[in-house]
């Protein structure tokens, strides 16, 4: 247990501008608020353990058989369920680094050992190095696309090379937590591209674009056999009835979800351009955040933001992840960034 890394959540301080956890800045969808009120009394009962209506709604959304869907309390838990199903003590889990900080924790909890494959010099997954890192003990490969915290995404060719490079008896998880913010031409839907491969699992969440981070719902789309195994590894009743109802309602409010995502994408472009003008290196982001690879300057930048009442997510010695917020919040962030320009490397 002493060696198990602790997840570092984005900070919460009353009154602060929170750009630390990649949440939607637009708040609960109004259509979902009404549904929550309607079902509040139901919380004295256990939820539908099979999440039947939610699974049917997700399956219909993707045009697949419900047998291919498994849900969990957030897609972090779903990735944990996949690891619980696939990884035994001493097995290896391959993922890029830096990627999502939950992956080393999930790996260790499953008893596996993590094989971290460095991102390339554009802060992007190096799929050839990832395939090369797969060995006899590898049970799982996880690719975060787009990647948290760097925002970079791999496109069609790299996804196909990775899928071809992972043996068919190794599970390949493609974590698409930020799918709604992606340029669909540059980054194909992994399920559409690779959904016919039995070892490929795509995970999605209601926590980001669907604005339900606090209710905890995510899911996997997998082959029926893998989905059945992932379902068996779910903690019973982990997705509450309120979460199930909210997710069904949010899925039905696609126009509003897309409208909000488009606002975020437009703001992402504006923020990235302004930061580059101010001298920052900003990798091309396909998510609802940008990555500032400030190295040793990361902690200082985050402290300057905190001083101005803005919470961002620093990774000491590496960089700072800044969530795209409301336009007024982004303006405040840009003011701080402009007042604390990076010292050019010589
Ligand atoms: C936010 C995030 C998730 C989703 O987390 P939930 O458990 O669904 O809230 C999954 N993967 C990555 C990479 C994320 O950043």
**Do residues 200 and 78 both lie within one domain?**
yes
pLDDT tens digits, one per residue of 67-113: 999 999 999 999 999 999 999 999 999 999 999 999 999 999 999 99
**Do residues 79 and 170 both lie within one domain?**
yes
The CATH number of residue 62's host domain is: 3.40.640.10
**Do residues 167 and 303 both lie within one domain?**
no
Whole-number pLDDT of residue 14: 82
Average pLDDT over residues 285-313: 97
Residue 256: asked if its preceding bond is cis (omega within 30°), the reply is: no
Domain boundary among 251, 281, 302: 251
**Do residues 260 and 236 both lie within one domain?**
no
Question: Ligand 1, residues 106, 180, 208: which to mutate, most atoms within 8 A of Cβ?
Answer: 208
Whole-number pLDDT of residue 292: 98
Average pLDDT over residues 210-233: 98
Is the pLDDT score of 287 beyond 90?
Answer: yes
Domain boundary among 251, 284, 310: 251
**Do residues 231 and 274 both lie within one domain?**
no
**Do residues 64 and 137 both lie within one domain?**
yes
49 inside domain: yes
Query: Which atom of ligand 1 sits closest to the CA of residue 207?
Result: 9
Average pLDDT over residues 275-291: 98
Q: How many domains does the chain have?
A: 2
Closest residue (by CA) to atom 1 of ligand 1?
177
Whole-number pLDDT of residue 337: 98
pLDDT tens digits, one per residue of 12-71: 778 899 999 999 999 999 999 999 999 999 999 999 999 999 999 999 999 999 999 999
4 inside domain: no
1 inside domain: no
The CATH number of residue 318's host domain is: 3.90.1150.10
Question: Ligand 1, residues 78, 102, 211: which to mutate, most atoms within 8 A of Cβ?
Answer: 102
Domain boundary among 209, 225, 251: 251
HEC sequence for the chain: CCCCCCCCCCCCCCCCEECCCCCCCCCCCHHHHHHHHHHHHHHHCCCCCCCHHHHHHHHHHHCCCHHHEEEECCHHHHHHHHHHHHCCCCCEEEEEECCCCHHHHHHHHCCCEEEEEECCCCCCCCHHHHHHCCCCCEEEEEEECCCCCCCCCCCHHHHHHHHHHCCCCCEEEEECCCHHHCCCCCCCCHHHHHCCCCCEEEEEECCCCCCCCCCCCEEEECCHHHHHHHHHCCCCCCCCHHHHHHHHHHHCCHHHHHHHHHHHHHHHHHHHHHHHHCCCCCCCCCCCEEEECCHHHHHHHHHHHHHCCEECEEECCCEEEEECCCHHHHHHHHHHHHHCCCCCCC
Whole-number pLDDT of residue 140: 98
Range of the domain at 210: 30-251
2 inside domain: no
Query: Which atom of ligand 1 sits closest to the CA of residue 22?
Result: 1
Whole-number pLDDT of residue 342: 86
Whole-number pLDDT of residue 4: 83
Interval between CA 74 and ligand 1 midpoint (Å): 7
pTM (2 d.p.)? 0.96
Average pLDDT over residues 329-334: 98
218 lines ligand 1 (CB under 6 A): yes
**Do residues 99 and 233 both lie within one domain?**
yes
Whole-number pLDDT of residue 272: 98
**Do residues 247 and 328 both lie within one domain?**
no
231 inside domain: yes
Closest residue (by CA) to atom 2 of ligand 1?
177
Confidence of residue 223 (pLDDT cuts 50, 70, 90): very high
**Do residues 227 and 98 both lie within one domain?**
yes
271 inside domain: yes
Interval between CA 288 and ligand 1 midpoint (Å): 12
**Do residues 158 and 50 both lie within one domain?**
yes
**Do residues 242 and 141 both lie within one domain?**
yes
Whole-number pLDDT of residue 16: 94
Whole-number pLDDT of residue 2: 82
Contact 218, 204 (CB under 8 A): yes
344 inside domain: no
11 inside domain: no
The per-residue pLDDT of the chain, averaged, comes to 96
CA distances from 232 to 80, 86, 168, 197, 229 (A): 12, 12, 22, 21, 5
**Do residues 171 and 282 both lie within one domain?**
no
């Amino acid at each position: 247990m002493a060696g198990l890394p602790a997840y570092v959540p984005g900070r919460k301080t009353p009154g602060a501008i929170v750009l630390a956890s990649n949440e939607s800045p637009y708040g609960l969808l109004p259509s979902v608020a009404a549904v929550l009120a309607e079902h509040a009394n139901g919380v004295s009962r256990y939820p539908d353990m099979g999440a039947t209506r939610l699974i049917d709604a997700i399956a219909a959304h993707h045009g697949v058989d419900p047998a291919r869907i498994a849900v969990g309390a957030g897609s972090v838990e779903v990735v944990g369920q996949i690891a619980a199903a696939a990884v035994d003590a001493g097995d290896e889990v391959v993922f890029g680094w830096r990627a999502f900080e939950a992956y080393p924790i999930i790996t260790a909890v499953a008893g596996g050992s993590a094989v971290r494959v460095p991102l390339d010099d554009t802060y992007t997954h190096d799929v050839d190095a990832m395939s090369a890192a797969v060995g006899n003990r590898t049970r799982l490969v996880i690719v975060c696309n787009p990647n948290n915290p760097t925002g970079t995404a791999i496109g069609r060719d790299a996804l196909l090379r990775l899928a071809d490079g992972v043996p068919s008896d190794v599970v390949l998880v493609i974590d698409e937590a930020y799918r709604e913010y992606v340029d669909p031409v540059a980054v194909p839907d992994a399920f559409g591209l690779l959904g016919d491969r039995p070892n490929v699992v795509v995970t999605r969440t209601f926590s980001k674009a669907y604005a339900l981070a606090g209710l905890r719902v995510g899911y996997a789309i997998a082959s029926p056999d893998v989905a059945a195994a992932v379902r068996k590894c779910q903690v019973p009743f982990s997705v509450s009835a309120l979460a199930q109802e909210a997710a069904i309602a949010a899925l039905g409010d696609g126009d509003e979800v897309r409208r909000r995502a488009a606002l975020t994408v437009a703001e992402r472009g504006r923020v990235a351009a302004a930061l580059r003008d101010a001298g920052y290196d900003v990798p091309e982001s396909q998510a609802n955040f940008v990555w500032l690879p400030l190295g040793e300057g990361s902690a200082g930048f985050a402290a300057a933001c905190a001083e101005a009442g803005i919470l961002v997510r620093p990774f000491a010695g590496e960089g700072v992840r800044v969530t795209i917020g409301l336009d007024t919040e982004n303006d405040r962030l840009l003011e701080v960034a402009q007042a604390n320009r990076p010292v050019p490397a010589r």
